[in-house]
Structures are given as structure tokens and as C-alpha cells.
A and B are shown apart, each in its own frame.
Chain A
């Protein structure tokens, strides 16, 4: 997750000086991939044990960001 967001930020700063379509796609990829991983890792960040229904829903919703 941190690597993904670091890649997103690095490419975002790179794109400020020179616009490049391929790099822009990779920037978006790293950003959405980071959001996907943030959602998947969410159960580790919250101090309570989530119910099975919430965990199952979290799995489906987080994967939507992966497809994006």
C-alpha cells in the first residue's frame, strides 16, 4: 500500500514538469491500487473485530477499486 502511494506521488510530481500519457495511466494505476490495498488492509487498522458480513462486503467493495 505504501509503495503504491509512493509510486503515485512520485509520478504525480514527475508529471508536473512533463506530461506523458503512459505515465499518467501508471499514476492512476498506483493511486487506485493503493486505495484497493488500503480497503483490504482496513481490518488491521480498526481496533474492533469486524463481523463476517462486513468483511465480505469490504472484500467486494475494495475489489471494485482494483478493477478501476
Chain B
């Protein structure tokens, strides 16, 4: 997987240089204006890594467990899936609204991941500790 990412990343970087587009700043918002083929390519690679492998790994861990541990891995898997959608959306965004949607998705995913990491603390606070 490491070398697949390095090779695919090298190809994407090469395409990014070939389809070089200049970013611009519009009313304090930095628009990267990513080249047309680059955004979807990054989306596919990130989807494979974070949604399929990392998200799938956490989903499998949740499937095999129960109670507090299951909730922890469900939240981590959901966070990974949401980040996979929100992250590459930044590369494909061309309007202010698309950036807002992408940022909201990333914020939600960070909250989900943090909730997953600290689910034990929340459970003990709510008196749900087994």
C-alpha cells in the first residue's frame, strides 16, 4: 500500500504540474483552482485509503466488539468516511458555498473522531461504564 500511494501520488503530482493552474484570492478566500483531472484523482486515492481501508478497518473493529468499544469504533469509522467526503471536496470546490460545505463536513468529521477517542470519558461521565 505504501508504494501504491507513493506511485499514485507521484502520478497525481505530475498531472498537477502538467495541468498547472494558479490559485487566486477572492474576498479573503483562497481559491486553489485545482486542475480539472487532479481533484477527482486525489478523491479516489483518499477514498481508497481513508474510506475503504481506514474506515473499513474501524467498521470491522466495531463489528467484532460490543458496548463502549463498538461505539468508539463506529464513531471513528464515521469520522473517517466524513473526512473522505469533505477533504477532497476542497480540491474540487470552485465556489464559496462549496468551500463552506467542505469545511462543515471536515469539522463534523473531527468532532466524530474526537468523540470516538474520548467515548470512554463520556461514558464514565454519563454513568454508562460497564
Residues of A within 8 A of B (CB): 3, 7, 10, 22, 29, 43, 49, 52-53, 55-56, 59-60, 63-64, 66-68
Within the complex, what minimum Cβ distance (angstroms) separates B121 from chain A? Answer: 13
A49 in contact with B25 (CB, 8 Å): yes
Question: A22–B21 Cα gap in the complex (Å)?
Answer: 38
A26, closest chain B residue (CB): B54
Q: Which residues of B contact A (CB under 8 A)?
A: 5-6, 8-10, 12-13, 16-17, 20-25, 30, 32, 34, 42, 45-46, 54, 57, 110, 113-114, 117
Known contacts A43-B30, A59-B23, A59-B34: does B9 contact A3 (CB below 8 Å)? no
Known: A60-B17, A67-B9. A55 touches B23 (CB 8 A): yes
Whether A55 and B9, one on each chain, are in contact in the complex, defined by CB atoms closer than 8 angstroms, is no
B17→A68 contact, CB < 8 A: no
Residues on B with beta carbons closer than 8 Å to the beta carbon of A67? 5-6, 8-10, 12-13, 45
Q: Which residues of B contact A53 (CB under 8 A)?
A: 22
Known pairs A3-B113, A3-B114; A63 contacts B25 (CB<8 A): no
Pick the contact of A68: B9, B24, B32, B42 (CB < 8 A).
B9
Rounded to whole angstroms, the CA-CA distance of A67 and B38 in the bound complex is 13
Q: A46 → chain B, closest Cβ, in Å? A: 12
Question: Known: A63-B42, A64-B13, A68-B5. Is A56-B23 also a contact (CB below 8 A)?
Answer: yes
Tell me the complex Cα distance, A63–B10, Å: 10
Complex interface: chain B residues within 8 A of A22 (CB): 57
Q: Are the CB atoms of B22 and A64 closer together than 8 Å?
A: no
Interchain CA distance A22-B53 in the complex, whole Å? 12
Chain A residues near B24: list those with CB within 8 A: 52
Contacting pair A60 B13 (CB below 8 A)? yes
